[in-house]
Structures are given as structure tokens and as C-alpha cells.
Chain A
Amino acid sequence: MNVTTPPKKLTDKDFASDQEIRWCPGCGDYGVLKALQRTLPEMGIPREKLVFVSGIGCSSRFPYYMNTYGFHTIHGRAPAIATGIKLANRDLDVWVISGDGDGLSIGGNHLLHVLRRNVDLNILLFNNEIYGLTKGQASPTSRPGTRSPSTPGGSIDYPVSAARFALGAGAHFVARSVDTLQPHLMEMFRRAHAHRGTSFVEIFQNCLVYNDGVFAHFTDREVADETQLRVRHGEPLLFGAAQDKGLRLKPGTLELEVVKVGEGGVGKADVMVHDETSPVLAMMLASLTPPAFPVALGVLYCHPGACYEDALAAQAGPKAADGPKANLNALLRRGATWTVQEGGRIADA
């Protein structure tokens, strides 16, 4: 009789490697690491099936701290390497860890293409609006006027919005969260993992050393209620401590406006309901910035489509290249051939 031992229930500690964490004390990265280590046991993925792939930067040290397979690669290239991993073995559960410099500057091209191909990956982009590991230069998400060693007079280039970039690239799943919001982060990880295709999660992450407080205007506890909009599919876009502020389309325009429920004849029914399958609404939500608007957090967009590996396998059909099956000798002999016999005589094959 076979006795089967039920698999041991894993905990967050099972996903922590034996390596000492080398992020600065108080770095927002700790919260993200913790949230993921707490979420993974619920997902029931065997540790050996998980692969964390990263580029270069503070956040890219992430794989070293996960007791799973991990590949710390080169600057900006993690999406390309992760794509190769999925081309070789689509059963692996692959997560890409990147930052604003890694993903949107040096690796912008790879991020664009991995999103449009919809490879089944989970991409976590830690956005701290600064280059941390290289000691504090302005990044492509830094706001205009950011003073840094490389921009002593303040940065003069316009920043890129990570979420809007992802939507523009054709991402099928775009979500946003904050390093300090444990339950919310965990919920985003669950949703990202459940989505088959590229799941893109932007995490606003505080760099204590080079850009401390850059998101404080919407992450500080005192202002969070009034400046964060937690979007949920099918629910009205309400925010504020009393959930009495909402968004609606400004009549006669294609713009959102903030309204107060109960004032000026506005009822709850007038507030727009979140539809995460709408690319237009997702782009509008991703574009909201304080102080006029709250920052939209949550799943801004989720509209599943065929992922790259599935399309590849479907195209290969039953002859799928899971192992070399066809006879190479036959291939080499296809087309015009001839035989040279002993003595050099030719015979058509």
C-alpha cells in the first residue's frame, strides 16, 4: 500500500534564503519582499518551480533573498532573459524584478516588447524615482526639477509614467501598489499571479537615502485616505475617509472630475464604476496625479488574451517541439540529390 505524505504547508520563512539582506535599513524593498514571501505559500507553487529574474539596481538584488531559483542578470535585460526561460520551459513560474531605471531606461525596449508579446510573467517594477545603487542620479520617473548629483540644476526632462507606458505597450494586466501597504500588495500579487500573460505591477517604493518621502504626499497615513483611490472592478470609484468623494466623467468632455457625493445633486449612482477591462478608463486612472486628483491604486487594467508561449505551442500543434521527434536524416535528403558511385559514376537519386 502506498502511503502518501501530504506536502508540507510552506510558510513565508520557507521562501527566505540564507543570505543576509543588504538593502539599507528602512528601505521600502523590505516590505515588498515580505509581502511576496507571505503571499507565495497561499499560491501553492512548489519552490522549485519559481524563478526570480532581475536586472541591475537595488531591487534587482531581490532574487538572492528568495529561497527559489533565481537569476540576477544584467542591466535592463531581465524581461529578455525571462522570455528565454519561458521559451525553454513554460511550466516555470517566472517573476521579473525591476526598477524605474532598469525597466524604463536601459531596459525600456525589452519591457515594451515583453508586454506586447504577453509572455506569461509577473513583472514587479519598484519605482522610487531615483537611481539608488549608483548613488542618487535622477531616473526616467523623476519629476521635473529633481536635484541630484547628475542634475544639480534640477532635472529638465519629462518623466515617464510606468503604468501609462505599460498600457501603451499593450499590457494585458496593469496594477499599482505601495511598498508600505502589505495587504494591498499581497492582493496585487495574487491577482498578478492569477493572470495568465504578462502581469505588470508598479510599486511606489520609498528610497530612504536618496529620495526619501517622494511619495509622502499620497502615502503618509495622514493624507492617504484623501489622496489614494483604491480601484476595484465593478465598484464605484470612491475615495476619502468617508468614501464620499468620487470620480465621474466631466459632462461634455473626455476628462475625469472629482465630485462630492451628496453635494450639488451628485448621488452615488453618478460616480463612475471601475471596469478593469476598459483600456480607456485604465489610461485615465493611470494619469491621475495629486493634488487635483488622487493616485489610483489597484488593478487598473486586466483584459486577458492569449499568452506568447500558448500561441507558440498552438502554432507548433501536435508536432510541438517538446523533444526532437522528426528525422533529421530525412530533412537533409529532401530536394535534389545525386549519388556518386565507386569510380565516380553519377546516378540520380
Chain B
Amino acid sequence: MVSAIAAKAEVIAAPRREVESVVVRFAGDSGDGIQLTGSQFTMSTALVGNDLATFPDFPAEIRAPVGTTFGVSAFQINFGARRIMTPGDAPDLLIALNPAALKVNLDTVKPGGSVIIDTGTCTARNLRKAGFEGNPLEDGTLAPFKVTGIDISRHTEEALTSFGLSQKDMLRCKNMWALGLVYWMYGRSRQATIDWLNRKFAKRPEIAGANIAALNAGHAFGETAEMGGGLSGFTVGPATLDPGLYRTVSGSEALAWGLVAGAQLAGLKMVFSSYPITPASSILHALAPLREYGVTTFQAEDEIAAVCSAIGASYAGALGVTSSSGPGIALKTEAIGLAIGTELPLVVIDSQRAGPSTGMPTKTEQSDLHQAVFGRNADSPVAVIAARSPSDCFEVAIEAVRLATKYMTPVILLTDGFVANAAEPWRIPDVDTLPRMAVSFATETEDFRPTRRDPVTQAREWVLPGTPGMEHRIGGLERDFDTGNISYDPANHQKMTNLRIGKIAGIARDIPAQGVEAGNPRGRLAVVGWGSTYGPISRAVDNLREVGLDVSHIHLRHIWPLPANLGDLLAGFEHVLVPEMNAGQLITLLRSRYLIDAEGLNKVSGQPFKISEIEATVRARLEA
């Protein structure tokens, strides 16, 4: 049913309904500014104290032809008065700014959920372009939903008549009109967005003014219109978060700042070398302006030059960091081997995406775990760690710096497109209270050899070129254990191989014992996850525990080496379920390492797990 709305209506002080949490999805054309709209709504929502999680879901095409389904961009946010662990399985409200956005996103909406559609775009031509055979507003397609058709395009134009803009420019403000309406629905203040628009368009005040007018008009529409389809106002109370100072943070921002913090805690300059690639480029963008924080960024000519210049920087005494996504990491592989062989610190960030090959660059996946752990020629171990959420990226980045510098090794930090782009509230840490991990460079010239090691960590000394009396040569050729000179001695190669394996294995003694996130440390079923599946697993396990099921959640930060107690921990469960956004990579590691009969739950659709998918699988296992 569609209820058409009259533009003018008397002011109605309808009572707001209180809800615990809501999932809203904004969708429109790539050029409609959907991601900006979503991030503005996120900020305003965070400022009223809701917990939240977001999921930007956009195409690889920058501006696909207008009105096509492959050009649809979407932004989903789940916010509430309780802890929010995921962007939500299914939207309660979809705002579709054109028919293509409706077509692509309708399936995701909760049955009985609300849909707002811009009827101004529902021309026969646009409907056809979106792939509708008839008019969904009339033919029953939308019957399962509460639909409100509003001519957002016309309302936006009407609100902006006095600004002297072209029709095209006026319509570029319709995302702000829609945002104003949604602000009204959830009782949000417009001020933060108004301030942001004034800053963003400081040099073009007429554009700022038009956007603000559209925002206000959308808001006023909500206030004055009696909307059908259940689109009255709602109240979502603040969530109970730990006391402290908060901001919203995306995974890429948290990762960038974590690297800066790590380098500062280690007392090092950072050289961050990268080549543009989706979805990793945002880390380069976040770091490029941070010169005065001890950061040099370098946009290299290719992925190989990016990792090589990072290695060169580490060799010369900076913290070398490189960042890419799966295909780029593949190109860096040989150089990572050089850093292993020469025992130099290196942080490699892999923002995973759907593959193989170019795959689906903007869609998320966790399918580089094997590449990170095993993907090099020869026996060439590195440390591998993974971030579970946007805010977790900060801590994990510091951990990557700690391991790389303490053990003189490459560390691969796995994140993914979802973690990189998603945002959530973050209790801002006080960097001054974080434990320092100062690095020392070799200075003892007496009996110097380039292979001198720390007796505990087995890490080679870090010797800076420029240090008198320590001139030496290193390289990718196998080196003698004692002298560091080139060696083809068979026994020496065995010894050096064992050394490299043992050094990385020894990290297991230097990381926390694996605990459980939720549930008992032994019992019927453990769900074991890593990386960005944290949110849905955690909510699913909580829900199942609330109804009395014996389920525990174990979530790994350290992928290689695995925590020393993990085998014992897993042995305490009858069932081990490993959900992954790949065809079964961690599970292979766990099965081979611990000889346990773990079962996989695998999803490679480019979309994160839904809570319900994990719940259903756990129930099936426990009821079997």
C-alpha cells in the first residue's frame, strides 16, 4: 500500500514511539551522496549517545550510468539504546532515492519494515532501467512493506527556488532533504550537519546554504506531514557505554592512528609506502596529512615498490609500513621474503576483499588468511594478526608495530573492506598512558656481527647504516648463522630455517593466553572466529545464551602463531564451529594444528554474516 503525502499539512505533535534499536539503510545512485548522508547520520546518532555500527556498501564504479542497478550505493546503520554489535541483519527502514536503489535493496528489508521512495524518480523510463516490469508502487511488489512515497525531488526543488541553482544542482541536495526527514523521525539535532556543511562549503556559501535549506525542509516536512506507513517519530535512548570521551571512528582511521601511536611508542619515524587500491587507499589518505606526527607517506609506482621502499626505510631505521589488498599483497610476496631473510621489521596491512584476481573490490571477504600465513616461497614464517572491528584496528596496529620491532620480522595485519569502511563509537584512549615499547639500535661495536641476536626473542640486532664501526652487508642470500656472510653450507641452512621458524613460534610466549569472549571456557559448542565476524558471532552467541544454550565465543587476534593454550581450550568443547567469510581457511589451520573435528560455516557473498545465519547454524549443531 502506498500512501501519498500531501505537501502541506497541519503540524501534528504525534507522540514518539520508543524503540530499543533501529536499522536504517540509505540507498541511491552513486552520485546521490549516499555515503556522505550516512556518515552525517552516524555522527548525529553518536552524539546523542546511541551505540552504533555502520556498513557502507558501494559499487566499484565511481559514477555508473545514472539510474542503473550497478550504480547503486547504500549505507546501513544500526543504532540503539543497547550494545550494537553489527550493522543489522535487515533494515527497519529503507530510504530509496531512485527505483534502482529500491530494486537492489528491497530484498534486504525486514518483512513489515518501512520503505521511503522518492516518487519523483519513478518515471516509466527509470523503472524500466532499474529492471521493474511494472510500477512497483502499484503492482503489489511492495505489499510486504509499509511504503511511503514522497516526491523528494520536487520538494527539494521547491525548497531551493530562491538559490538560483540549476535543476541539476538543486537535485544534488536531495540527499540532505532525505537526511532532514530521517533526522526528524529519530529526533536528531541538525546542528552538527549544518556546521559540517558550512565548513565543507566555506568557499561556496550558496551551496552550503542550499544544502542546509534542503536539510531543514526535509525536517520540516516530517514535523508537518502526517505520514502514513508507520513513519511517525521514534525515540532511541542512549546506550550504556563505559564512561569516557568518545568519537566515531572508521577502521581505516583507527588503523592509521594506531600505526602513528605504535611508531611514537616505539620512538620511530614511520615511512608508509602504498599504491592505490580499494579498499586500502583510505589508510594512505588518513596518514598523508600527518607529517608532523613523524609520518612520511610515499605513493609508490607499484605494489612491489611500495613494499620495497618500506623495507628500505626499515633498513635505515624507520618503521616501514606498507598497505594493500589481496592482489597487491600477492605482488609484495617476494619482498616480504626478503624482509624475513634479512630480519627487518615491516608491517604489512592487508585490507581483504572478495577475490580471486580483481574479484569484487568493494565487497568484503576474509580469504587472504592462507596467503598471509603461507603465501610465500620456501619456509618463510611471519606473524599474522587480525582486527575484529573498526576501533580494534587501533590496538591491533600497535600490536603489529610491537611484534615487528621486537622480533625483527614482517607482521601481516589482516583487516577487510567491512572493517576498513565501517564506523562505530570509540572511547578515545589516552596515548600517553599506553605502555612504551622503545626500540634500541645496536651500538656495541666490540665483536660486532650482523647476526648478533637477542638471546630471548632471537631477534637480530637492528643496526643503522651511518653507525661507525658496524659496516656490514645483508641480503636475500642465505647467511651464515655466526658471521652473517653468504653461506651455502647445508647444516647452516637447516639451522637458519629452524631459527626463522622458532623465532616466530616464540611469539606465542609473548601474547596473552586465549580466553573466551562469552560463555564458559568449556562446554557444548564454541564458535571460533577471527577478524570482522566478531560482531555477528558475538551477538548470535549472546542471543543463544539468553535462551539457555551452552555456547561460547572464542575470537582470535593472533592468527600466527596461534595462542599457546588454544589447543587445550578447544579440546574442552564437544563442537567447534568456525564461521568465516571464505571457503574454510582458519578451520584448515585449526584442524591441522590441533587434529580437532571443527566444522565450518562459510560465506563468500561479499556481505558480512547475519546474526541469524550464525544462530541457525549453532542451533542445528546443538539439536543434531
By a beta-carbon cutoff of 8 Å, the part of chain A in contact with chain B is 17, 19, 46-49, 51, 53, 63-64, 66-74, 77, 79-89, 91-92, 109-110, 112-113, 312, 315-316, 319-326, 328-329, 331-333, 335-342, 344-346, 348-349
Cross-interface CB contact of B432 among A72, A86, A329, cutoff 8 Å? A329
Q: Is B49 among interface residues, defined by CB-CB distance under 8 A? A: yes
Q: Give complex CA distance A127, B476 in Å.
A: 23
Which residues from chain A contact B242 at a C-beta distance below 8 Å? 340
In the A-B complex, list the 7 residue pairs whose CB atoms are closest, starting with the nearest: A84-B312, A72-B475, A324-B294, A84-B309, A80-B308, A88-B316, A70-B473
Known: A84-B310, A84-B320, A338-B47. A321 touches B466 (CB 8 A): no
Q: Give complex CA distance A330, B49 in Å.
A: 22
Q: B471–A69 contact, CB under 8 A?
A: yes
Q: B298–A321 contact, CB under 8 A?
A: no
Q: Please name 12 further chain A to chain B contacts, defined as beta carbons within 8 Å, in addition to the given A87-B271, A325-B292, sorted by A numbering.
A: A63-B475, A74-B476, A80-B308, A81-B311, A85-B316, A320-B291, A328-B293, A331-B257, A333-B245, A338-B49, A339-B243, A345-B238
By a beta-carbon cutoff of 8 Å, the part of chain B in contact with chain A is 43, 46-49, 192, 238-248, 257, 260-261, 263-264, 269, 271, 273, 290-296, 298, 300-302, 304-305, 308-318, 320, 334-335, 337-338, 342, 427-432, 464-477, 485-486
Which residues from chain B contact A63 at a C-beta distance below 8 Å? 473, 475
Q: Give complex CA distance A48, B261 in Å.
A: 31
Interface centre among B264, B271, B465 (most CB of A within 10 A): B465
| Chain A nearest Cβ from B404, distance in angstroms | 15
Cross-interface CB contact of A81 among B241, B309, B471, cutoff 8 Å? B309
Q: B315–A84 contact, CB under 8 A?
A: yes
Q: B466–A49 contact, CB under 8 A?
A: yes
A–B complex contacts, Cβ < 8 Å, 11 sampled: A68-B471, A72-B475, A74-B335, A80-B305, A83-B305, A321-B292, A321-B293, A328-B264, A333-B245, A337-B428, A339-B243
Q: Give complex CA distance A155, B497 in Å.
A: 41
Q: A48–B312 contact, CB under 8 A?
A: no
Known: A83-B312, A89-B466, A332-B257. A337 touches B471 (CB 8 A): no
Cross-interface CB contact of A321 among B257, B269, B342, cutoff 8 Å? B269
Known: A92-B316, A336-B248. A72 touches B305 (CB 8 A): no
| Chain B nearest Cβ from A187, distance in angstroms | 26
| Chain B nearest Cβ from A300, distance in angstroms | 25
Q: A340–B49 contact, CB under 8 A?
A: yes
Which residues from chain B contact A323 at a C-beta distance below 8 Å? 269, 294
Cross-interface CB contact of A109 among B293, B295, B305, B318, cutoff 8 Å? B305
The residue on B at minimum CB distance from A319 is B292
Q: A113–B476 contact, CB under 8 A?
A: no
| Chain A nearest Cβ from B427, distance in angstroms | 8
| Chain B nearest Cβ from A252, distance in angstroms | 41
Q: A80–B264 contact, CB under 8 A?
A: no
Q: Give complex CA distance A17, B485 in Å.
A: 11
Known: A72-B475, A340-B244. A77 touches B335 (CB 8 A): yes
Cross-interface CB contact of A88 among B269, B295, B337, B485, cutoff 8 Å? B269
Q: B49–A324 contact, CB under 8 A?
A: no
The residue on B at minimum CB distance from A68 is B471
Which residues from chain B contact A326 at a C-beta distance below 8 Å? 290, 292-293
The residue on A at minimum CB distance from B272 is A87
Known: A88-B318, A329-B431. A80 touches B473 (CB 8 A): no
Which residues from chain B contact A68 at a C-beta distance below 8 Å? 471
Which residues from chain A contact B432 at a C-beta distance below 8 Å? 329
Q: B192–A336 contact, CB under 8 A?
A: yes
Q: A84–B271 contact, CB under 8 A?
A: yes
Q: A70–B472 contact, CB under 8 A?
A: yes
| Chain A nearest Cβ from B463, distance in angstroms | 9
Which residues from chain A contact B301 at a C-beta distance below 8 Å? 80, 109-110, 112-113
Which residues from chain A contact B465 at a C-beta distance below 8 Å? 48-49, 51, 69, 85, 89, 92
Cross-interface CB contact of B246 among A89, A92, A338, cutoff 8 Å? A338
Q: Give complex CA distance A214, B302 in Å.
A: 34
| Chain B nearest Cβ from A331, distance in angstroms | 7
| Chain B nearest Cβ from A199, distance in angstroms | 18
The residue on B at minimum CB distance from A75 is B334
Q: A335–B247 contact, CB under 8 A?
A: yes
Interface centre among A46, A71, A348 (most CB of B within 10 A): A71
The residue on B at minimum CB distance from A79 is B305
Q: Give complex CA distance A110, B302 in Å.
A: 8
Which residues from chain A contact B239 at a C-beta distance below 8 Å? 344
Known: A72-B473, A321-B294. A337 touches B466 (CB 8 A): no
Known: A89-B465, A346-B238. A325 touches B246 (CB 8 A): no
Which residues from chain A contact B246 at a C-beta distance below 8 Å? 337-340
The residue on A at minimum CB distance from B48 is A346
Q: A312–B296 contact, CB under 8 A?
A: yes
| Chain A nearest Cβ from B448, distance in angstroms | 12
Which residues from chain A contact B469 at a C-beta distance below 8 Å? 48
Q: A339–B317 contact, CB under 8 A?
A: no
Which residues from chain B contact A319 at a C-beta distance below 8 Å? 291-292
Which residues from chain B contact A49 at a C-beta distance below 8 Å? 465-466
| Chain B nearest Cβ from A213, distance in angstroms | 31
Cross-interface CB contact of B471 among A47, A322, A324, A344, cutoff 8 Å? A47
Known: A109-B305, A338-B47, A348-B47. A333 touches B316 (CB 8 A): no
Cross-interface CB contact of A85 among B313, B338, B430, cutoff 8 Å? B313
Known: A63-B475, A321-B269. A337 touches B245 (CB 8 A): yes
| Chain B nearest Cβ from A17, distance in angstroms | 7
Cross-interface CB contact of B305 among A19, A113, A315, cutoff 8 Å? A113
Q: Give complex CA distance A322, B267 in Å.
A: 11
Cross-interface CB contact of B466 among A91, A112, A340, A348, cutoff 8 Å? A91
Q: A339–B468 contact, CB under 8 A?
A: no
Q: Give complex CA distance A340, B310 in Å.
A: 40
Cross-interface CB contact of B485 among A19, A85, A342, A345, cutoff 8 Å? A19
Q: Give complex CA distance A237, B504 in Å.
A: 62
Which residues from chain A contact B49 at a C-beta distance below 8 Å? 338, 340, 344, 346
Known: A325-B294, A349-B245. A336 touches B46 (CB 8 A): yes
Cross-interface CB contact of B428 among A51, A80, A332, A341, cutoff 8 Å? A332
Which residues from chain A contact B273 at a C-beta distance below 8 Å? 84, 87
The residue on A at minimum CB distance from B430 is A329
The residue on B at minimum CB distance from A49 is B466
Q: Give complex CA distance A349, B238 in Å.
A: 16
Q: Give complex CA distance A162, B468 in Å.
A: 36
| Chain A nearest Cβ from B587, distance in angstroms | 34
Q: A73–B338 contact, CB under 8 A?
A: yes
Q: B269–A109 contact, CB under 8 A?
A: no
The residue on A at minimum CB distance from B257 is A332
Q: Give complex CA distance A121, B617 in Å.
A: 59
Q: A84–B241 contact, CB under 8 A?
A: no
Which residues from chain B contact A349 at a C-beta distance below 8 Å? 245
Which residues from chain A contact B243 at a C-beta distance below 8 Å? 339-342
Cross-interface CB contact of A84 among B313, B470, B485, cutoff 8 Å? B313
